[in-house]
């Protein structure tokens, strides 16, 4: 079990999130009726690419000088080259691009993302990562003597996942930034029928709040007790379980632990029924069909997210943050062979999800954004790339001011002004700025942004402007 998971489980145990008998989804905070005081519906979808996506191959410079620097850094012309052939890249024109500005293209497998970018529905953040304050190469190199604050344990999977999920810097926090968004909006969303935070990819530090608790479900629906049914022996078994749990929850002779455990199981069954009932009656999407197409694991998660959004009224929801994930991005080996399939899955999944939302007229109300452990080195280790720092992230949705880059794409040059060794690039946009921009659109007020993104006040720009 990794450190991130251990920390989350410790916090969850204190706050009442549980898996009954190892199978039943966790409880949620008391949210039973009405839609609260926000007056509209919005959803954020965090797509985490576990392993550290080599995003320098995802969006690549195509103008001559910039491409040549990229190709040299990635070993172009050698047997271990990681560079994408310039002629194969999918060219795009950025909104406001002027003659002489650097040009770029998407990886050849990312036609869906390219199409969304060209349609103005996807934006690129070209060099982003955890930062506690703006950092130069000189400040990085002298940090141990000057005290310039850097994120802890750079280039470590668990620690940098932790940083993306929590934005905690060097402080100790029990909550993730998605959980803190839920905490800030708790008073306005306390009437929802389900937790504001829903994970379809396991327990996550990102969604743990101090007050609000996440709801964890499977990729296709909420887990249920095996052997329960609506008739026959299964119904009798369910009825007996309910009788026992009701008695255990109310019996004053029982310990506080026994009563609490019984109530958790009651709520788990209740919410599983509620969620699965809503999913069963939800819209069937042509873009993410139930039958007739083979969906990837990520597409299956996103289909369930789309169904929950379609069922928002029956669940009395006004705000939701979903967590989905894809793995396989720790590509120390076989990068050239395996990356096209990985990126194709991300690209096609994002595009299909956007198309599904347009089917129900909710594309303007939902924003999907990517996270990953870290970027990767420009240099090759022979067959792949190593752990690094800054990298490229994507934001998609109808409310996105797309077709643009937010931040400067760095010169991909070994020993360049942002390279701290081996092509490890210092980010020039912080994860705190990213989170604050998303939280502002979601409904978090200016005065509460520092609660969500603790280092935001160290940056001159609090809102990156990629959302309407």
Question: Would you state the pLDDT for residue 242?
Answer: 86
Residue whose C-alpha is closest to residue 437's, from 210, 55, 128, 194: 128
State the helix-helix crossing angle for 297-310 and 256-280, rounded to 10 degrees.
90
Q: Are 122 and 361 in contact (CB under 8 A)?
A: no
Token code pair at residue 311: 């069922």
In sequence order, what are the residues at sequence separation of 6 or more whose Cβ sits closer than 8 angstroms to the Cβ of residue 76? 83
Fold held by 3-223+265-458 = Alkaline Phosphatase, subunit A (3.40.720)
Mean pLDDT lowest for which of 76-80, 214-218, 442-446?
A: 76-80
Residue whose C-alpha is closest to residue 102's, from 142, 61, 72: 61
Above 50 in pLDDT, residue 307?
yes
* pLDDT per position as a tens digit, 78-93: 999 999 999 999 999 9
Residue 171 to residues 71, 132, 371, Cα–Cα distance (Å): 39, 11, 21
In sequence order, what are the residues at sequence separation of 6 or more whose Cβ sits closer than 8 angstroms to the Cβ of residue 397? 121, 354, 357, 363, 364, 366, 367, 368
- What is the value of pTM for the model shown? 0.91
* pLDDT per position as a tens digit, 91-122: 999 999 999 999 999 999 999 999 999 999 99
DSSP E strands: which ranges in 269-423?
319-326, 366-372, 391-397
Percent of the chain with pLDDT over 70: 92
For residues 39 and 394, the model is more confident at: 394
Alpha helix locations (H) across 360-468? Answer: 431-442, 449-452
In sequence order, what are the residues at sequence separation of 6 or more whose Cβ sits closer than 8 angstroms to the Cβ of residue 361? none
In three-state secondary structure terms, 127 is strand
- Taking the domains of the chain in order of start, what are their residue ranges? 3-223+265-458
* pLDDT per position as a tens digit, 118-137: 999 999 999 999 999 999 99
Token code pair at residue 304: 């369930």
Across 41-50, average pLDDT: 98
Alpha-carbon Rg for the chain in angstroms: 23
* pLDDT per position as a tens digit, 392-439: 999 999 999 999 999 999 999 999 999 999 999 999 999 999 999 999
Cα separation, 393 vs 379, in Å, equals: 20
* pLDDT band (50, 70, 90) for residue 12: very low
* pLDDT per position as a tens digit, 330-348: 999 999 999 999 999 999 9
Token code pair at residue 77: 């012309």
In three-state secondary structure terms, 61 is strand
Mean pLDDT lowest for which of 37-46, 184-193, 240-249, 356-365?
A: 240-249
Above 90 in pLDDT, residue 263?
no
Above 80 in pLDDT, residue 440?
yes
β-bridge partners, 68: none
In three-state secondary structure terms, 349 is helix
Cα separation, 466 vs 157, in Å, equals: 28
For residues 14 and 64, the model is more confident at: 64
Question: Would you state the pLDDT for residue 36?
Answer: 53
Element (H, E) at 122: strand 122-129
Cα separation, 175 vs 209, in Å, equals: 5
Cα separation, 222 vs 26, in Å, equals: 10
Cα separation, 137 vs 6, in Å, equals: 34
Mean pLDDT lowest for which of 29-33, 149-153, 397-401, 448-452?
A: 29-33
Chain mean pLDDT for the chain: 91
* pLDDT band (50, 70, 90) for residue 14: very low
């Amino acid at each position: 079990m990794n450190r991130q998971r251990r920390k989350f489980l410790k916090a969850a145990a204190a706050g009442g999130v549980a898996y009954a008998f190892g199978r039943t989804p966790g409880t949620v905070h008391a949210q039973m009726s009405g839609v609260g005081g926000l007056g509209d519906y919005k959803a954020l979808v965090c797509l985490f690419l576990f392993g550290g996506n080599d995003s320098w191959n995802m969006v690549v410079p195509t103008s001559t000088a910039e491409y040549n620097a990229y190709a040299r850094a990635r070993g172009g012309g050698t047997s271990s080259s990681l560079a994408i052939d310039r002629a194969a890249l999918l060219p795009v024109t950025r909104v406001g691009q002027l003659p002489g500005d650097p040009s770029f293209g998407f990886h050849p497998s990312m036609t869906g993302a390219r199409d969304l970018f060209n349609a103005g529905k996807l934006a690129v953040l070209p060099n982003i990562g955890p930062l506690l304050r703006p950092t130069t190469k000189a400040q990085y190199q002298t940090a141990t003597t000057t005290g310039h604050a850097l994120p802890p344990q750079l280039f470590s999977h668990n620690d940098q996942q932790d940083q993306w999920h929590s934005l905690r810097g060097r402080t100790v926090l029990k909550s993730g930034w998605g959980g803190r968004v839920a905490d800030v909006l708790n008073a306005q969303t306390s009437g929802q029928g389900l937790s504001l935070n829903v994970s379809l990819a396991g327990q996550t530090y990102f969604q743990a709040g101090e007050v609000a608790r996440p709801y964890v479900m499977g990729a296709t629906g909420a887990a249920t007790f095996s052997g329960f049914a609506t008739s026959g022996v299964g119904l009798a078994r369910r009825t007996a379980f309910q009788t026992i749990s009701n008695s255990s929850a109310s019996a004053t002779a029982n310990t506080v632990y026994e009563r609490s455990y019984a109530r958790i199981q009651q709520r788990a069954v209740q919410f599983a029924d509620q969620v699965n009932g809503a999913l069963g009656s939800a819209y069937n999407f042509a873009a993410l069909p139930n039958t007739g197409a083979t969906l990837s694991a990520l597409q299956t998660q996103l289909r369930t997210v789309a169904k929950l959004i379609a069922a928002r009224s029956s669940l009395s929801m006004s705000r939701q943050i979903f967590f989905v994930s894809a793995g396989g991005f720790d590509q120390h080996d076989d990068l050239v062979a395996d990356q096209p399939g990985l990126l194709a899955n991300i690209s096609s999944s994002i595009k299909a999800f956007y198309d599904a939302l347009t089917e129900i007229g909710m594309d303007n109300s939902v924003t999907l954004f990517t996270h990953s452990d870290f970027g990767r080195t420009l240099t090759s280790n022979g067959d792949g790339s190593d752990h690094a720092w800054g990298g490229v992230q994507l934001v998609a949705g109808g409310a996105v001011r797309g077709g643009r880059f937010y931040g400067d794409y760095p010169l991909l040059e070994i020993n360049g002004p942002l390279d701290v060794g081996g092509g490890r690039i210092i980010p020039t946009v912080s994860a705190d700025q990213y989170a604050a921009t998303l939280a502002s659109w979601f409904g978090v007020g200016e005065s509460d942004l520092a609660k969500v993104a603790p280092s935001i006040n160290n940056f001159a720009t609090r809102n990156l402007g990629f959302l309407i």
